Amino acid sequence: MTLDLAQLRSVQHFAQAFKAKNVPLHVLVCNAAAFALPWSLTKDGLETTFQVNHLGHFYLVQLLQDVLCRSAPARVVVVSSESHRFTDINDSSKNLDFSRLSPSKNDYWAMLAYNRSKLCNILFSNELHRRLSPRGVTSNAVHPGNMMYSSLHRHWWVYTLLFTLARPFTKSMTRKALLLVPLLIDAHSGNDGSVSVPESLILPAKFKHKDIVYESE
């Protein structure tokens, strides 16, 4: 089965193919990410970082929501980032600014686009938990730590250099992956829609980032 998050039609076809298998879905990990991309639009006309990191995952979960609910207990784990704190998606009037989610080329900055997509991940995970937890489907967002051993840096040589220099001072990919394990297999872990960050620091689902409320009140 092939899934290309940069094409919403591919996401739709993947969901249809999975449903055709008629198997339960107890765990869904939204893990794909794009980082430091030059500005580009997907075939759907959206900025690539936003679509790959957030919208593609969002659409996939929506298409598989009925399967998750029928498979309950089930859980969704969204791999986000601590860098979500260093951005905003509201305008000066504190209203959601959609142009910040999928900016034009002149308004694009790769790092900011990544941070905004990770903020969308958190907002999505917490709202999903609020809506589906009564039906036995939990959702949690996790920050796995700085991914110096991954290939996220491949799109710009500056990040490649920085990631390489920082590697001796960071944890291995295996160590970071272990953070996901309790959320995937422990029946008592992640039932509160929390956000997990390195060293098991847990943040509650209802917290504010500037004037954004992460869970509807």
The catalytic residue positions are 114
Alpha-carbon gap, residue 173 to 214, rounded angstroms:
28
Which residues, listed in sequence order, are joined to residue 137 by a DSSP beta bridge? 74
Contact between 60 and 52 under an 8 Å Cβ cutoff? The reply is: no
Which residues, listed in sequence order, are joined to residue 79 by a DSSP beta bridge? 142
Alpha-carbon gap, residue 137 to 153, rounded angstroms:
34
Q: Return all residues near 189 (Cβ < 8 A) that are at least 6 apart.
A: 182, 183
Alpha-carbon gap, residue 49 to 7, rounded angstroms:
12
Alpha-carbon gap, residue 116 to 134, rounded angstroms:
28
- Count the Cβ atoms, other than its own, within 10 Å of residue 88: 17
Alpha-carbon gap, residue 120 to 129, rounded angstroms:
14
